[in-house]
Structure 1
Amino acid sequence: MSLRERLSEALKTAMRAKDQPTVDAVRMIIAKLKEKDIEARGRGVTDGIGEDEMLSMMQGMIKQRRESIELYDKGGRPELADKERAEIAIIEGFLPKQMSEEEAMAAIRGVVAETGAASVKDMGKVMAELKARYAGQMDFSKASGLVKQALSGG
């Protein structure tokens, strides 16, 4: 079942169960997906974005929520921070299993070796390859630090 089909089914299931937080979160994902599909039409993509772009989009949504949680916690708004945490949990439910730090480091070392990256100047090339291969499985904000470490001889 494709990710689009899983989102549609999850929305129907949540609506039947009257699970409003899940309904809201899945509708939000679907709305963002439609927005990305419309943007892709400008690039000549008529049948919607691919799964890898969908996974990257969802990773971005999680990153935004984590930033919001930090701000809400600092601002003394724990109820809003909890709502964001719940949305993260729902979004993560559609993503593939996340790599551990050890698995991510092994993948990074492999990509560094394959691309012939030798210094931090090659970081963009390595990150692009990682995003192409491991969209949705790797936290790229953490991965960038690991890539720097790998390229600087760590």
Structure 2
Amino acid sequence: MPLKETIETEYKNALKAKDKTKISTYRLILSSIKDLDITNRSGPNKKETDDEDIKKLLKKMVKQRAESIDIYKKNNRTDLLEIEQNEYNIIIEFLPKQLGDEETKKICEELISKLGVNSVKDMGKVMGELKKLHSDEIDFAKAGPLIKELLNS
């Protein structure tokens, strides 16, 4: 089932269950998808919105929530923190599971040895290959510094 349909189904279930947190979060997601549809239909590169576009959108939303969570923690705003955390948890359910730090490090090490690179100058090659092979399952905000560290050692 396409991702958009899955989200719409979950939205309908939340409406039936009268779960206010989920309802507002799903509305937010569906609204963003609708904006994305409009953007994709207008402009020079007309195309249908596919699951990859929606995943990118959801990743962006997750990143925004994570940044807000950090800010709210620093400023001791538990009321807002709870709201953002709930939205974060709901949105992340629609994304593929991210690999942990150990698995990410192992994949990066294997890729570096496979490509035969040993300098930070080659970091772009490693990142490019990593994005080709593992774009959905690796957090690149963590992978970048890790690759830099591996190439420096």
Following superposition, the deviation at residue 32 of structure 1 comes to: 2.1
3-state SS of paired residue (2:87): helix
Instruction: Using structure 2 for the length normalisation, give the TM-score.
Output: 0.83
CA distance in 2: counterparts of 1:51 and 1:116, whole angstroms: 34
Secondary structure of residue in 2 paired with 1:16: helix
- In structure 2, the CA distance between the partners of 1:33 and 1:109, relative to structure 1 (3 Å rule), is farther
Unaligned runs of 5+ in 2: none
> Residue in 2 aligned with 1:46?
47
1:52 Cα offset (Å): 3.2
Q: State the distance in 2 between where 1:83 and 1:123 align.
A: 38
CA root-mean-square deviation: 2.3
Q: Point out the structure with max Rg over C-alpha.
A: 2
For 1:5, the aligned partner's letter is E
C-alpha distance 54-152 of structure 1, shift in aligned 2 (>3 A): farther
Give 1:1-12 correspondences, 5 Å limit: 1-12=1-12
Structure 1 residues 117 and 60, CA, compared in 2 at 3 Å: closer, same or farther? farther
Residues 76-112 of structure 1: per-residue CA shift (max 9 Å, x gap): 3211011101111101111112212222123223443
Structure 1 unaligned runs (5+)? none
Q: Which residue of 2 aligns with 1:96?
A: 96
Superposed displacement of residue 115, structure 1:
4.8
Within-5 A mapping of 1:1-154: 1-41=1-41, 42=43, 44-48=45-49, 50-153=50-153
Shift of 1:116: 5.0
Q: For residues 112 and 51 of structure 1, what CA distance do their matches in structure 2 show?
A: 30
Q: Structure 1 94/113 Cα, relative in aligned 2: closer, same or farther at 3 Å?
A: same
Counterparts of 2:53 and 2:25, CA distance in 1: 19
Identity percentage of aligned residues: 38
* Aligned-partner Cα distance in 2 for 1:114–1:62: 32
Give me the TM-score of the superposition, normalised by structure 1: 0.82
Report how far residue 18 of structure 1 moved. Answer: 0.8
